[in-house]
Structure 1
Amino acid sequence: MGVVETIKGTWTYIAAIVFIAISGGLCLGDVIDLSGRSVKLPLATFSARAEFTFRYLTLGVLSVLCTIFLVIFQRVTTGTVNPLAGQEDKVQKQANILQNSFEQFIISAFAQLCMVSFIGEKYTLRVIPWVNFCFIIGRFFFVIGYPSKRAFGVFLSLIPNVGMVGVCVYKFVEHLFFDSIDV
């Protein structure tokens, strides 16, 4: 990889971090409210926060469903309806997008459910909608940039997932060994 490609990759990563930092700061600071009418729901229990999370996971499910339709459309338009006919190279791009989107969705869904077991109502209302909107925006940029310009979309999905898992690991260790302070 040349210097130019390295610089472009670095700027893509920086752009994703800036987007996440600004949008996350605005959402966590309660400047932008993505929770909609949900603020009227009491989210004092884990089951209520999990229900809230499942509602926002609708965006991720929609994203995965759209990529499934993308694979179906490619199969129908290229005549590769039979996956055993030896023409999988015609749908490889769409299949790769679907596989990555599904993997990211599973990680995101479980990370969100783990997260709401550790955080309270205030942060659930701010974090969960933001993570799901980052996910759907990230998947959009991943699809339109695939294969060579997918990094921005990958980072928009991956960085919030890594952040949530990091918080969950921290809170889990805190739960095991220290007096837990609820967030």
Structure 2
Amino acid sequence: MPPKTRTDKSSRGDTQLWSNRKAVLISMSIAVTFLAATYYAYNQFGQRYVSVPHLHSLTDRLVWTLRYQVLGLSVVILTTINVWVSRLLSHAINPLAGYESVVERSNKILTNTLEQFVMNAINQLILSTYLSESNLRFIPLLNVYFLIGRIGFWIGYQIAPKYRIFGFIVTFVPTLLVFSLNAYFLSTTNSNFLFDGGKPFGRTI
């Protein structure tokens, strides 16, 4: 058998690179389509099924938004348990034994989930101070996105790291959009008038 040449290795590398890029592009397309379709459906029919209580004060808004963070927090807890179980069932039960590679993937899933949760939760709390009472119905949707996205990220990462993109997009894009809205509200003079019909929340004039 002739020895493997550098050209053969390069060809295999190019093929693998294209395969990874293809998987990423397909996952991104599916994720963006999912976000657009579910947002449209929620915007059309959400008012029928999601009711928002009268939240007259800033405290009421923050408390109502905080309660929905249990959805995202549940994924953080599950990924923490996943790391614990992975250690318990392997030599990595002793973190100093040199078997950290066994739980490396689980640790990365947990770290990324925790980072995304912090960004998502803080942005939702800020957004709740700007939105009108009726538009606070989008807070539950943001949390459902986070829950689905993190589960998709977890499952995809376990199959192969390149398949984590769907979950990452479904999680991060809503967070990025909410951050952009918050930045817009903060940086523009009339930002508070966008969603509440001309009278910014928290002002009497």
Q: TM-score, normalised by structure 2?
A: 0.80
Question: Where does 1:131-146 land on structure 2 (aligned, <5 Å)?
Answer: 131-146=142-157
Q: 1:27 to 1:45 in 2, by over 3 A?
A: farther
Distance of 1:19 and 1:60 partners within structure 2: 19
Asked if structure 2 preserves the Cα contact closer than 8 Å seen for 1:16 and 1:155, the reply is yes
Aligned runs of 1:102-113 on 2, under 5 Å?
102-113=114-125
Return the alpha-carbon distance in structure 1 between the equivalents of residues 114 and 191 of structure 2. Answer: 36
Partner of residue 129, structure 1: 140
Report the CA distance between 1:137 and its aligned residue. 0.5
List structure 1 runs of 4+ shifted beyond 2 angstroms.
Answer: 1-8, 32-36, 177-180
Cα contact 1:59–1:133 (8 A) shared by 2: yes
Q: What is the CA–CA distance in structure 2 between the aligned matches of 1:110 and 1:180, rounded to whole Å?
A: 18
Give structure 2 stretches of 5+ with no counterpart: 1-13, 196-205
Q: Supply the RMSD in Å over aligned alpha carbons.
A: 1.9
User: Which amino acid in 2 is paired with 1:156?
Assistant: V
Greater RCO, 1 or 2 (C-alpha within 8 Å, sep 6+): 1
Secondary structure of the structure 2 residue equivalent to 1:128 = helix
Q: Which runs of 5+ in 1 are unaligned?
A: none
Match of 2:175 among 158, 161, 165: 161
**Could you tell me which of 79, 83, 95 is aligned with 2:95?**
83
Q: Secondary structure at the match of 2:179?
A: helix
1:67 to 2:82 alignment: no
Whose Rg is larger? 2
| 1:35–1:129 contact (8 Å) kept in structure 2 | no
> 2:133 matched to 1:118?
no
Match of 1:49 in 2: 61
Q: Is the 8 A contact 2:61 2:128 kept in 1?
A: yes
Aligned pair count reads 177
